[in-house]
Structures are given as C-alpha cells and as structure tokens.
Structure 1
Amino acid sequence: MRILIINSKALAATISLFFLGFLSMTAQTYTLDNSNSEVTIFGTSNIHDWEIVVEEQKGSLTLKQNSPVTLTAMKISIPVKGLKSGKSGMDKNTYKAMNADDYAEVTFTLTSPATLSEAGSGIYKVKATGNLTISGVTKATDLVFTLKKTASGVILSGEKTLDMTTFDIEPPSALMGTIKTGKEVTLKFNTTLQ
C-alpha cells in the first residue's frame, strides 16, 4: 500500500511539471530592449517640419504561441523627458505642453487580446486595442503594427498619427506665438523586445 502512495505522489508531481512546462511553452513574455529600438515623432509647424527622437522607452508583451498566435498582454511606456529634438528650447516647450512635471510618462496598455494575422514566415499583422495615456488623459486607441519573430525575440514596426488636442495638449508655440506647431503628430516605431 505504501508503494502505491509513493507512486501516486510521483505521478501527481510529474503531471504538475508537465502542465507547467506546457504553459510556459505556449506563452512567452518579451521585455523591451531600449538600445535596439527606435521611435521618432514627426510634426509640422508654420515654418518647417520637425522631429523628436525618443531616447528612452520600456515595456513588455506576452504572446500565446499556439494557434492562433495571440497577443495577450502589452504595456509600453515612454518618459516625456526622454523626448529629445536636439534643440533645448523646443524640448522645454514640449515638456511644458505635455505637463511633464505632473505626468512623467506616455503609456499604451493593451485592454483586450489581439489575434495575429500571419503575413509571411514569422511575420504577423497586429491590431492592438488599448488605453493610450498622454498628459494624464486616457483614450481608447487602436495601434496597428507588424510583428516579426526573430531568433531572440520580436520586432514591432509601425506608425500612429495622433491629434494632440484629443489629449488636451495645446500644440507648442515659440517666439511669442509666431512659430506654431500643427496639432497632429506621427509616431514611427521599430521596437525590439527580447
């Protein structure tokens, strides 16, 4: 009888390990690699077009690997003071317009799972629905991008055009209002997660 109890415990442990191993194989979490990621924000003004580089970002995403491949979680954060134009005056106006002292980060958080549509070997089209928070204002937003699987992780590529006034941001101006920026900006990203 004792042998039967030992075997039952061994069987239960084996089943538990198999189940946990199966779950870890079917879902994988990736962490953003800032050093291999690029995000640029493009905008316009009444004088000339401009751009700002995102020097810092962080985040993660989780993919359920079995068919269909599904994005089950994602959060990306960008510190506002990590936005750099190469011109200190423009950066200062940007931080002021975005209330950077009170709202230090821009975040996108997935709110429902997204099924990936295969577009080639290891390449998928994604439409992610989530909450985008800028300057303390949160709006439901769709983010469309391409996800490419690599040997060590995934790369997300895409772009999103936003109306700053939707987030209660008054487009920055300079030189006592003689230079005015347009209300729309386009964010282009090539983000690596490993």
Structure 2
Amino acid sequence: MKIILNSIAFKLRYITLSMFLILSAGLVFGQQQLYTYHSGVIEVSGFTNNYNWKMKTDSVDCRAQLTMINRQLKAINSLSFTVPVKKLSSPNTYMDRIAHRTLKSYPFDKIYFHYVKSEISPWDDKDQYLIKASGNLTVAGVTHSIKMDLIATVINDGTITFAGTHKLKLSTYQVTPKKSLMGTLKTSDDVTVNFVVGVKPLMLSATSKR
C-alpha cells in the first residue's frame, strides 16, 4: 500500500512539474494573440492644379495576430487592413463621387493591405517599435508589393496602435485620375496615405461589447 501511495505521489509531482514547465515556456516564448480593430482613421490626400484635397474614414477592418512577451511586441504573425472605398469622404461630396469613380469603387469596392514580413526594433519610447514592413496593397483590383515603416505603440490597457505613411502613384494601380469641370481641374497621379489604427486583443474586444 505504501509503495502504491509513493508511486501516486511521484506521478502527481511529475505532472505538476510538467505543467509548470509548460506554463513557463509559454511565458518565455510568448503567445500568439488575435487582435481586432478598435479605433483609428485612414486619410488619403493629393492635389489638383487648383487646390489640395483630402479624404478620410474611420471605417476600417483591421485584424492582426501578434506575439507578445511581457507586454513587448516580439513578432507580427499576420496583419491586414480593409478600407471600403465609398467610406472615404471629404466636405466636398462632388469631388468624393469623382474620387470613388476614379478608384473604381464598382466593382472594386475595397482597398486591401496584407502583411507579408517585417523587421521589428525598439523605437524612442520603451513601449514603441519601428516596424519595417513588407506587404501587398490592392487598389482598384490591382495588387502590388510595397514597403512601409510603421510605428507600433503598446498601450497600458492592452491595445496597440499602428501609425504610418505610404506614398503611391495611381498609375501604378492602373488608375487614371479623372478630369472635372470640363477638363479644367486635373488631379495629380501622386497620393499619400496616412493612418493611425488601434487594435484590441480579441478577448478584450468581446468583453468590452457586453
């Protein structure tokens, strides 16, 4: 009987030690956590021969899978942005309609970015990181690989913000800038995209909606 009890005690100690090692490994190597869109804004700007224009939206679908260790960003496993073209707007509704047609909102009603790879390094603040990212950007149904720098900031409440700027030419995506006002108003081929997008851990997002 004593031998049996000793054997059971040994097995329990073995199981406890194994669980401890597994949990410790999880803390050391980090865990992949799913994140979803929390808040933010995407701004698209350019210029014509008469004035500068700017459109923006907070209707963004952002999803990410990140590896965090002790609140430090260690890896981006996946990251994607989706922006509905017709949600981009400005105070000038006439120019908005021209812009939507220019971007071929029908049939290509969304702009997509899909992350491929990156290099992550600490930035100015201990909770900030410089991300040299590569990915695929799809505009008007045409996809090209791009590179851009992002600044990621880890907030105390568990949210993470991504901020960045990307310059592109519409012609790269087979988009021809429209002329308006009987051809007197001409839009430049150059466009700048600025964005600040915040994401929350999926479990935190679900809890906040209750």
TM-score range, shorter chain: 0.7 to 0.9
Q: 1:59 aligned to 2:78?
A: no
Q: Which residue among 77, 82, 86 is the counterpart of 2:87?
A: 82
Instruction: Tell me the TM-score normalized by structure 1.
Output: 0.85
Q: Secondary structure at the match of 2:99?
A: helix
Percent pairwise identity: 21
Mark the runs of 5 or more structure 1 residues left unpaired by the alignment. none
- Deviation track 1:6-63 (CA, whole Å, cap 9, x = no partner) reads x59x949948974996599522222112xx3022111110001110012411111122
The one-letter amino acid paired with 1:180 is K
The yes-or-no answer on 1:140 pairing with 2:141 is no
AA at the equivalent of 1:62? Q
Once the two structures are superposed, residues 62-93 of structure 1 have per-residue CA deviations (whole angstroms, 9 ceiling, x without a partner) of 22224881111100000001110122211111
Q: Which of structures 1 and 2 has the bigger CA Rg?
A: 2
Kept in 2: contact 1:111–1:130 (CA 8 A): yes
* Worse-matched range after superposition: 67-76 or 168-177: 67-76
Aligned runs of 1:102-181 on 2, under 5 Å? 102-112=107-117, 114-119=118-123, 120-151=125-156, 152-181=158-187
CA contact (8 A) 1:45 1:179 kept: yes
Give 3-state SS (helix, strand or coil) of 1:89's partner. Answer: helix
Q: What secondary structure is seen at the aligned counterpart in 2 of 1:56? A: coil
- Determine whether 1:37 maps to 2:43: no
* Displaced runs of 4 or more, over 3 A: 10-25
**In the TM superposition, what is the alpha-carbon distance from 1:172 to its structure 2 partner?**
2.5
- Specify the SS of the correspondent of 1:84: coil
Equivalent position amino acid for 2:173 in 1 = F
Over the aligned positions, Cα root-mean-square deviation in angstroms equals 2.7
Unaligned runs of 5+ in 2: 201-210
SS in 2 for 1:91: helix
Figure out how many residues of one structure are paired with residues of the other and give that number: 189
Aligned to 1:46: 49
Q: Which amino acid aligns with 1:118?
A: P
Which amino acid in the other structure matches residue 101 of structure 1?
A: Y
SS in 1 for 2:187: strand
- Normalising by structure 2, we get a TM-score of 0.79
